[in-house]
Amino acid sequence: MLEPHGFVRAHQSHLLNFRFVQEFQKKEGGYLKMKNGDLVPVSVRKKAEVLEWLGQCGGIRYFCRPMYSPLFKIRQNGFFGFINAEGELAIEPQYLEAGEFQNGFTTVRLNGLLALLDSLGRLYIKRLYRALGPFSEGLAKAQVAQLWGYLDAHGNEAIAPLFEYAGDFCEGLAPATFEGSAGFLNPEGQFAVRPVFSKTGNFSKGLAPACSEGLWGFVDKTGAYCIEPQWDGASSFQGESALVTLDGRWGLCNRAGEETVPPQFEFVKGHAHGEFFDGMALAFRDGKYGFVSQDGNIAVEPMFDLAGDFGEGLALVEINGAYGYIDKAGKLSIMPKFEDAGVFSDGLAQVCANGLWGYINPDGQIVIPPTFQSAAPFREGLALSVLDGKWQYINRQGKVIWREH
């Protein structure tokens, strides 16, 4: 009786509401992790039913396996659709503009506005929106005119568009601004933390950045400052470190509020700042690039003309106009010999030689010869490349799985 309203019985003694479920964990037969940290066992008889229910609710993570089968955007006759990892057509090319799938949904543009599209190709057009965010904890932010609200996984308006700003839900709360003041919303659309700040950010392990009287610190879920406002800017914690800004430069602080890396790095237009990939973040100082680690240390002193994000233990760097790769200690792992290069993903990285793109392995060996006009990183076993102006997807052996006609 209750299941259509977002409830499921995971075990004889447990009736659950999906809004309070954080993720499914596969260990020991299966558990549902609740947002309060509790682990609820899933009975063998109920497992298939629970997994189906999670897929219908959307936005809940599977631990150690993706919740949704990956879909890949394709182009055909100027329209966009999607294939699955086997190259089979999943959604017919019919949209002039489409995003990438996240948590089972993407967006498509209709008459200049955005609509939700699910992984089964179902279009949610109860209303069109100026902007749509990804689903997080079962809700997606949506902009109507100038104001933001939230949609549930059925495309229904879960929280009315009343807010000048709205962020993604994390740990059961979302930063939001109402009539010029910022606080934190619960999934029912009520301010669980009163809007008494000028700006707020996302929670991470119980702490969120918040600004009062022009200075940023970090608050807990009661709205009390655990780290007093002292910086010109601050971002959400990533692990044990958070970016903080002072006098136009950025550094890192820990959860005790100590500056583990004092603000010293410059902001570079078009680059992410203090955003960690594979435990490392790019850092720019005095015209050179280096890296800081997520544990709050300068791991690689700025010494490179250009650098890219770490992936699978390696990062591209430019030395004297050529590109190679370093490890996390800053040692050259692949000598600079390429005209351009990309990030390692799925065990391969795209590189450019003689104006064409191919792929190398972590030993620097070319495993897919440079034959493409452009190439993207591998994702879920496939990579988008362009040959003779046509889109195509290849697998890790270089076999063409799908090609634009």
Give the integer Cα–Cα distance in Å for 136 and 169.
Answer: 6
Task: Give, in order, the Cα–Cα distances in Å from 60 to each of 21, 39, 68, 266, 380.
Answer: 7, 15, 10, 37, 19
- Tell me how crowded residue 362 is: count the other CB atoms within 10 A of its CB: 16
3-state DSSP assignment of residue 285: strand
Burial class of 241 by CB neighbour count within 10 A (0 to 12, 13 to 18, 19+): buried
Q: What share of the chain is helix, strand, coil (3-state, %, to 5)?
A: 5, 55, 40
Domain range list for the chain = 3-63, 238-337, 339-405
Q: What pLDDT sits at residue 23? A: 66
3-state DSSP assignment of residue 396: coil
Nearest to 298 by CA among 274, 271, 318: 274
Q: What pLDDT sits at residue 63? A: 39
CATH architecture under which domain 339-405 falls: Beta Barrel (2.40)
Q: What pLDDT sits at residue 8? A: 64
Give the integer Cα–Cα distance in Å for 317 and 331.
Answer: 11
User: pLDDT by residue (tens digit) across 352-382?
Assistant: 999 999 999 999 999 999 999 999 999 999 9
Q: What is the DSSP letter of 224?
A: -
Q: What pLDDT sits at residue 1? A: 36
List the chain residues with pLDDT less than 70.
1-30, 35-38, 43-67
Q: What pLDDT sits at residue 29? A: 56
CATH architecture under which domain 238-337 falls: Beta Barrel (2.40)
Instruction: Please name the residue that has the structure tokens 């009315």.
Output: 160
pTM recorded for the entire structure: 0.81
Give the integer Cα–Cα distance in Å for 109 and 73.
Answer: 14
